[in-house]
Structure 1
Amino acid sequence: MDRQEQFRKQVRVIYQLLKVVVSIIIIVAIAGIYLIVDPSFSVFKKSAPDSAYIVVQEDEEDRIENGIHVRSGLVEAEGLMEVVNNCTNCHSSKLVIQNRMTAERWIATIRWMQETQNLWDLGGNEEIIVNYLVTNYPPIKKGRRENLRNVEWYDLQN
């Protein structure tokens, strides 16, 4: 090998090392910027033990205020936690609240969810859930709106 070839080989090695060093600097810079923007970045944060999380979850999420379950917005009554544990795993409690139905319709809806939406067998909880829903969210009788009275009609001008 002549000197020029050796020089080129050394330049290539230095170039490769320089690429690695620059890449590391870029990664460290991005991580630093991310920490400035989001200091709670989970890789650098110590996690709380599981038991501490559970205590917070029980205290905060299952709180009742003014007869309402805070997390779900459902009425506090017998069967509340069965509804929370079985219904709100898949959808919002607001969906439950707005769909006021009779016991027969709730049972038909549960069967539909079991057949098409992979809802598990509710076992003995089914009766508790249906009773809770029918008692606390019964169908609201909606009739035709009342006729308009004492209306001053006028012609529209072109």
Structure 2
Amino acid sequence: MSVTWRHLPAPAREIASAAQDAVAAAQARDAGAYEPAVARLAAADRSGLVLGAVVRLLLEQTNPDGLDGDDVRRVLEGCVRSAAQWWPDVDPHVLLVLLASALGVYEPADDENPPGPVAVAGHGPLLVADLLAVTGRPLAGYLEAAFAEVARTELHD
């Protein structure tokens, strides 16, 4: 299914399109298609915020009773194992930071540099693809919900 995202402003449209392409490439384990989609996603301002909201929504849906350390470990290990087979640049630490950030529990230490836009763009779609495999649902609905959540948060801040 192809979604045009015409109803979104241009910056959000680019995030949605790039996210769809990156997640589709991750689902297909296609490194050749993944790299340019990740580059587009990294160049899109606020894409990490949207991907984080998608990851959080997926985590909530796949773990309706809440998450504990074992659940986070399971998600992390599954994603690393799956991605490492086709994308050698996967970094478990970046995935862990993204998971913790999506859950609102990540506070970088004073001497720590959090992952930048390229690392977030390169790893967020891996998490999304893995979590989508559990739900069996398409990305579009989660992106719509993530954009709505980001807009609502920005409106109230």
Q: TM-score, normalised by structure 1?
A: 0.24
Higher relative contact order (CA 8 A, sep 6+): 2
Q: TM-score, normalised by structure 2?
A: 0.24
Q: Which has the higher helix share?
A: 2
**Rg (Cα) greater in structure:** 1
